[in-house]
Amino acid sequence: MPDRIKSSMKFVERLKTCPMKKNSIFISLIFILFFTCCKKDDDNDQIIGKWRWVKTIIPYGNRVSSPQTTGYTKTLEFFPTGTMTEYRNDTLLNTSGYKIETSNSGQLRLTSSIITSNFSIDKDSLIFNEAYVDGPVISYGKIKK
């Protein structure tokens, strides 16, 4: 019998003889599973809803645009079904599926046919940030119902 299986069997036998250890290990595993499994859902839940474009900053040249400077508004809406919509002046432009992934370093990335970018959510702000490659930083504010 391989050593790994023998050591696993010994561990299980020790757990059987010590109910306190068994309970504390079980409870610890439940907490670990709860806190690690819920992270991605939290990211998806936070993005659900309507977001109004506030401004775009292009770091290269330090250019800033906003609804006031462009003369139009933009809105993104995210649904729990994994679908998003894009509006310009309240007119529907695009509908797309989206997915959110987390990199090994913890960076969130949204992928869709409307926008593909690293992003973060801070309170009522959604910020798409591609500045590390001289790309734009686009800020949206959450629209309250």
pLDDT tens-place string over residues 88-123 = 999 999 999 999 999 898 999 999 999 999 999 998
Query: Residue 39: which H helix or E strand, with range?
Result: helix 39-47
Structure tokens at 110: 């949204």
CATH architecture assigned to 40-142: Beta Barrel (2.40)
pLDDT at 34: 43
pLDDT tens by residue, 50-69: 999 999 999 888 899 999 99
**137 with 59: CB under 8 angstroms?**
yes
pLDDT at 124: 95
Cα 126 to the center of its chain, rounded Å: 10
Domain residue ranges in the chain = 3-37, 40-142
pLDDT tens by residue, 8-31: 566 656 656 655 555 565 555 444
